[in-house]
Chains A and B, each alone.
Chain A
Amino acid sequence: MTAKITIDEWTPLPGSVPAAVDPGKIYVVPTRLPSNESLGTQPLYFESVRYVPKEARAVGAPVEFATPEGSRKFVQEFSADIDTWALALLCFNMANDWLIFAVGLFIATRSKSEGWSEEKAKELPLKVSVVEAETGRTYEIEGSGSDVLAALEVLRKDAKRKKDGGKKSKNNRG
């Protein structure tokens, strides 16, 4: 595994995360500032994430946008130069099983729109930024799609172990 993980260097844009976070849900976070004042200050989503929550809803997965319906804006950029796919997510903590699912879904929707096979799509460069609401900690994970998914699995197991360990030690004390 060769994914690069950076902790606490990324900061979500002001207004991009909800005040209350449902521990069971994953939120797609906007990452782009408007380039001129007439568009206001509300952060923008990239077009590439527009259908991720919709695809998730179709299979009953709890993935939604971080900002409410009616306020969201999506920016489409018409260059063919983008070589790294990027996605920013918010979860209550890294132990959430749907986090890896959401990233997998993003890879699948992009591969469908560009015509990659599932395996080839996982070899392409990907950057996933995650903000963990419980701790305020942020993660940036970069590498091939499959390396990023593997790194998220390691982080998930680690978070789960800490969570379970916390519960056990509480129980022991009781």
Chain B
Amino acid sequence: MASGRFLGFIVMQWGPIPPSGGPNRLRFLDVNGRSALEAADTEYAAVVALLGDAADRMPEAHPLGMEFERDQIIPAQQQARREWNAFAAKLDADVLGEVEGHINRSEAAAVAALNYLEDHELREVAHAAIHRAGFVRSGLYGCPIHYRDDDYRTECLTVLAHQRFGASAGLITEFECTVCGRQVEDCDHISGEVYEVEAWRFEDGKCSVCDSEECEHEVGQVYETRAYARAKNIIAQEISWVARPRYPQARPREQSFDVGPLADDPRMRALVQAGDLHCDGCVGPCVGFNEMTEWDLDRIPTSDDSEDDSP
């Protein structure tokens, strides 16, 4: 069951709709996952190169798969934090400035890789790449907690990547044919085929030949154009949580953060608003995934139940 509330989601992404299943989807996930993993490795290699000899003296991460008792986790995080503070204090400020972009991109690419590869043989490789980058990023720059709209929040990619579920939008969409403007299901033009047609303008002013508002195509002139389905009148019907979203990156982007009994203390809010409250979760050991596939859906509280957020 999820701990904390999820306060922001990516629901869809620009570009072609990913295949829903079958060999086409497996290929899509494999190609994009490997590419994201390569990007994560490249960015991490840049970090190591920038750190030079100091890279050999970086604190050591807790090995994945090593089991920790609940009461050992916070002391392990605190120990790692002390080691990172000592390490970072000796680094040149310019190097720190240069490293930041690379380590952020490495972490983001590793998270994207896991989202593509969660049912793939490279799943644990992507998982390890997330911890590798999250450990360095949080170690060097911390992981600030934010306060907005009466909620303490974290946007930590490493923490959020351990919530294995995503968003599925139910959309009602009309698709019009770029050759004739009728609904694609009602005309006889074949998607991908080239037709000679007179240029005309859609209701939104875009050109039927090139789909741009400003172009050289003259209305009434004949051009070759490829038939495809152009989305219009998109209506969101619902958004659901699913274990495997069709858009692999349609995942939570923000999660509420439990600061304990001091949540309502103005001093705590001031600390957060000054950017001085950090979470050390990702410098500590991995506490495992929260897999939606393992949730007991009959035991999920409804909105009528208590609003207790405890795990």
CB pair B24 A115 closer than 8 Å = yes
Count, chain B residues at interface, CB 8 A: 39
CB pair B22 A77 closer than 8 Å = no
How would residues 1 to 39 of chain B score, 1 for a CB under 8 Å from any chain A CB and 0 otherwise? Answer: 000000000011000011111111101000000000000
CB pair A115 B244 closer than 8 Å = no
Q: Does B69 contact A (CB under 8 A)?
A: no
> What bracket does the count of chain A residues touching chain B fall in?
20 to 34
Greatest chain A CB density within 10 A among B22, B185, B243 is at B185
Q: Does A116 contact B (CB under 8 A)?
A: yes
Interface residue stretch chosen among A1-9, A67-75, A96-104, A137-145: A67-75
CB pair A35 B237 closer than 8 Å = yes
**Out of A39, A50, A113, which one reaches B19, CB within 8 Å?**
A113
CB pair A78 B188 closer than 8 Å = no
Interface residue stretch chosen among B49-57, B163-171, B255-263, B281-289: B163-171
B residues near A113, Cβ cutoff 8 Å: 19-20, 22, 24
B residues near A74, Cβ cutoff 8 Å: 172-174, 185
* Shortest Cβ distance from residue B187 to the other chain A in the assembled complex, whole angstroms: 8
CB pair A76 B173 closer than 8 Å = yes
B residues near A79, Cβ cutoff 8 Å: 168, 240, 242, 244-246
A35-B237, A73-B172 known; A78-B247 Cβ under 8 A: yes
CB pair B22 A80 closer than 8 Å = no
- Report how far A81 CA is from B23 CA in the complex, Å: 14
- Report how far A133 CA is from B242 CA in the complex, Å: 37
- Report how far A114 CA is from B246 CA in the complex, Å: 13
A residues near B173, Cβ cutoff 8 Å: 47, 74, 76
A33-78 interface with B by 8 A CB criterion: 34-36, 39, 44, 47, 50-51, 53-54, 57-58, 65, 69, 72-78
B residues near A116, Cβ cutoff 8 Å: 22-23
Q: Does B238 contact A (CB under 8 A)?
A: yes
CB pair B168 A115 closer than 8 Å = no
Greatest chain B CB density within 10 A among A54, A80, A83 is at A80
Closest-by-CB residue of A relative to B250 is A78
CB pair B172 A80 closer than 8 Å = no
CB pair A80 B244 closer than 8 Å = yes
B residues near A81, Cβ cutoff 8 Å: 242-244
Closest-by-CB residue of A relative to B235 is A39
A residues near B21, Cβ cutoff 8 Å: 80, 82-83, 114
Q: Does B40 contact A (CB under 8 A)?
A: no
CB pair A78 B169 closer than 8 Å = yes
- Report how far A111 CA is from B21 CA in the complex, Å: 10
Greatest chain B CB density within 10 A among A58, A73, A115 is at A115
A44-B172, A50-B184 known; A80-B27 Cβ under 8 A: no
CB pair A65 B185 closer than 8 Å = yes
B residues near A51, Cβ cutoff 8 Å: 184-185
Q: Does B290 contact A (CB under 8 A)?
A: no
Q: Does B183 contact A (CB under 8 A)?
A: yes
Closest-by-CB residue of B relative to A124 is B22
Q: Does B149 contact A (CB under 8 A)?
A: no
- Report how far A82 CA is from B19 CA in the complex, Å: 12
Q: Does B121 contact A (CB under 8 A)?
A: no
- Could you show 13 A-B contacts with beta carbons less than 8 Å apart? A35-B170, A51-B184, A58-B188, A58-B190, A80-B18, A80-B20, A80-B25, A80-B245, A81-B243, A115-B19, A115-B23, A115-B27, A116-B22
Which 3 A-B residue pairings sit nearest by Cβ, starting from the closest?
A114-B22, A115-B24, A78-B246
